[in-house]
Amino acid sequence: MSEKPQMAARRKMALTLVLGTWLGASFLLLWVVGSSFPGVERAVVENEQLASRVGFKPGDAAAKKTSVAWVITGELNRQNFSSWNAGQLLLAAAALFCALRAGSRGALLGVCGAGVLVLVLTFWLAPEITTLGRSLDFVPRDPPPAALERFNGLHGIYTSLELAKVLLLLLAVWFSFRSLSAVRSADPA
């Protein structure tokens, strides 16, 4: 490869690396958080000593939602999302920098879209969900508290936007690979 196509290829590879890191970490967080609450229930089923002390029996949804174990799991999820969103802001900045240097318009659009979603998640939805979730900690669910419907709605929006972000990142990776292939095939050497 001559110097110019070689530099272009390096820039596109750097973009692909940042996008792959962001995408991989997104999948990891979705798996960790998605398994946390079911993990509490599973732990109670599998550990008799825990089951005798945790404050609820498997299948007792009302007692489970007001137990210390459930509230601690919720708080850990809040901390995980807060840290993850800060990390995503850094990844979005790095991806934006790389996309601008790589010159892939499609990747740049995907990165910008994902970045906007991260701003919404970080500065609007996560704080709202955290505040509302804490107000529901230890609150009995029978009858369902009035704030529960809003909490579930915000949670659904957050999940939808997180999945939209993942799709935008996949699109950006595709454009990055596509432009990397074009650079390599254009180089006669």
**How far is the C-alpha of 181 from the C-alpha of 113, rounded, in Å?**
23
Query: Which sign does the torsion angle of CA 102, 108, 110, 115 carry?
Result: positive
**How far is the C-alpha of 178 from the C-alpha of 106, rounded, in Å?**
10
Place of tokens 């230890």: 138
The pTM assigned to this predicted structure is 0.89
The reported pLDDT for the residue numbered 1 is 46
The reported pLDDT for the residue numbered 56 is 81
DSSP alpha helix (H) spans, the chain: 3-46, 48-53, 61-65, 68-102, 105-120, 126-136, 146-186
Residue pLDDT tens, the chain, 189 long: 455 888 888 999 999 999 999 999 999 999 999 999 999 889 888 988 888 888 888 888 888 889 999 999 999 999 999 999 999 999 999 999 999 999 889 999 999 999 999 999 999 999 999 999 999 999 998 899 999 999 999 999 999 999 999 999 999 999 988 866 665 565 555
**How far is the C-alpha of 129 from the C-alpha of 141, rounded, in Å?**
17
The reported pLDDT for the residue numbered 48 is 84
